[in-house]
Structure 1
């Protein structure tokens, strides 16, 4: 059943072109048009699980922008704070998918419409009915001004005592690791739940031993440090204890979006009072299901699908 919990996220979205066949992009002749973007994927994942989801963004006032806007609205996402902007082309990306499900992404987001957003666009009214705010490093990487916008949102969240989750989602095609770390250090003091890949946290703090992670979490008073490690499962450090859960066994077709799906699953289970191991299991289940379908968000499951998958511990027919 849908819940009354409200989640808000802030960020860009893109038209994604999925290749018609696997292999190097230079050998691909045709593509299928899809919708993607880390924050939008998260929003879709939350909406499908039954959370009331609000998305703040800017899209080009072009046909592609209308595609994304209508798609998000059709998923039940609150798009009242998404604006279509003339003169700025909607961002694009082209995906390359290899036979093992791994891939690369090629971005075309120069003059992104998200550049037109200002700190004054973020208001307390946006936070009405919101129980958690989720941000990612992708929005922060697009333009330096986005740090000011994000901090405006985080300060308002603190005023209203709304918890914050953060996924670094490092994109080294958009900025350097040094720029990312410098920016993240201004974000971490506001973060309650950190959702990071093992390789990402290793890049951020230069170490990924459990002791180093504990010291890092305590230094910023992060109450839940969640580490995603793909097929090796996930773990969380919370209340002075580590909890770990193995991954589900699936045959991955496309791994893009699995991390965003994991985030949505973890936030859903956190808001609903799941225990640490239950949160990891639920999030692992969402992430696994995402990989069984080609596309950034096509595989994001609905609640009953996740529950059935977890209970049966097997790949369901999709």
Structure 2
């Protein structure tokens, strides 16, 4: 069951946010279409990976943070490590794996806004992610651990994430969980069990739209929220795209509308949103302020091309919020 530690956070509480998972380069098609069945113009490589985007956003907000991952001895690995290091992430627990290439994701947007992917993750350096000595050293500093469902792609990584969750909680820390999954993943019994465990252990749950119902017996949003809060989750933060987001807790519900921006590339927006909400809450900000900053972060992320290129500091987020207030678009 989740702890009440989250509710006791103040701006003076020492904190270190850690995550574990895939680091990839993302290479993106310049034109819309279906698949990669013919030569076409591509842009990239860009540093990427859902947990990598998350932790980079934490660092851009000034949070003490680090990541456990693995990349190859190649330019793609160097590109990612140098970007994370530049933005302030502790990269000491990112392994340079021998005989493996850095993970990759080729992306093409379809006309309806959905995406085609060609991934190399399971058989890349990402498969070497584990709790090696440097990772265990980083975990000893962790006061908060973030789990991304997309990172639970192999049994060894599931074991590593589970061990990390239990260790951070034993240290008095807290957990956040973003499902970030395809529904088909729930058909694999061990995968579903791992995801359900993460939900039971987390303090902040960060689903997107229909993900709210994937783990529940109830068939309505109200039933799902009640069921998840009864598990001991402190805050459910439901990402609702351009409509903004809503935070559900035992004592109240808060909604913040989306900020109107020109959408250029939605990749990474949810990761930026989650990182901003978690960082704000752990620094002592109210749910209202945290939700407002998170919505601004997600909105700014979609306005920039490239999965990690839209990560923001508080100065940029204040500009988004102030601009919307002047236009009367969002509060």
TM-score, normalising length from structure 1?
Answer: 0.89
1:63 aligns with 2:52: no
Check whether the contact 1:58–1:85 (CA below 8 A) recurs between aligned residues. Answer: yes
Which of 154, 168, 171 is equivalent to 1:143? 154
Return the offset for 1:251.
1.8
Structure 2: give runs of 5+ residues left out of the alignment: 1-10
Return the offset for 1:43.
0.8
1:311 aligns with 2:316: no
Matching residue of 2:145 = 133
Return the offset for 1:279.
1.6
SS at 1:182 equivalent: helix
Return the offset for 1:69.
1.7
Matching residue of 1:10 = 20
Query: Hey, what's the Cα distance between the residues in 2 that align with 1:122 and 1:83?
Result: 9
Matching residue of 2:3 = none
Return the offset for 1:120.
5.5
1:280 aligns with 2:291: yes
Return the offset for 1:315.
10
Query: Hey, what's the Cα distance between the residues in 2 that align with 1:197 and 1:208?
Result: 15
Structure 1: give runs of 5+ residues left out of the alignment: none
Query: Hey, what's the Cα distance between the residues in 1 that align with 2:192 and 2:134?
Result: 24
Return the offset for 1:135.
1.2
SS at 1:21 equivalent: coil
> Structure 2 vs 1, CA of residues 202 and 121 (structure 1 numbering), >3 Å: closer, same or farther?
farther
SS at 2:25 equivalent: strand
SS at 1:313 equivalent: helix
Return the offset for 1:14.
0.5
Which of 213, 227, 233 is equivalent to 2:225? 213
1:22 aligns with 2:36: no
Matching residue of 1:34 = 46
Check whether the contact 1:226–1:237 (CA below 8 A) recurs between aligned residues. Answer: yes
Q: Deviations 1:199-237 (Å, cap 9, x if unpaired)?
A: 11223326341232122221x200111111111211111
Query: Hey, what's the Cα distance between the residues in 1 that align with 2:285 and 2:132?
Result: 36
Q: Deviations 1:32-82 (Å, cap 9, x if unpaired)?
A: 211110000001111111112211111112232222222222222110111
Query: Hey, what's the Cα distance between the residues in 2 that align with 1:275 and 1:28?
Result: 50
1:1-318 alignment, distance < 5 Å: 5-26=15-36, 29-32=40-43, 33-98=45-110, 102-119=114-131, 121=133, 125-140=137-152, 142-171=153-182, 175-179=185-189, 180-205=191-216, 207-218=219-230, 220-313=231-324
Query: Hey, what's the Cα distance between the residues in 1 that align with 2:276 and 2:193?
Result: 28
Check whether the contact 1:20–1:30 (CA below 8 A) recurs between aligned residues. Answer: yes
Tell me how many residue pairs correspond in the alignment. 312
SS at 1:150 equivalent: helix
> Structure 2 vs 1, CA of residues 315 and 31 (structure 1 numbering), >3 Å: closer, same or farther?
farther
Return the offset for 1:312.
2.3
RMSD after superposition: 2.5
TM-score, normalising length from structure 2?
Answer: 0.86
Return the offset for 1:132.
1.6
Check whether the contact 1:119–1:149 (CA below 8 A) recurs between aligned residues. Answer: yes
> Structure 2 vs 1, CA of residues 100 and 254 (structure 1 numbering), >3 Å: closer, same or farther?
farther
Return the offset for 1:254.
1.0
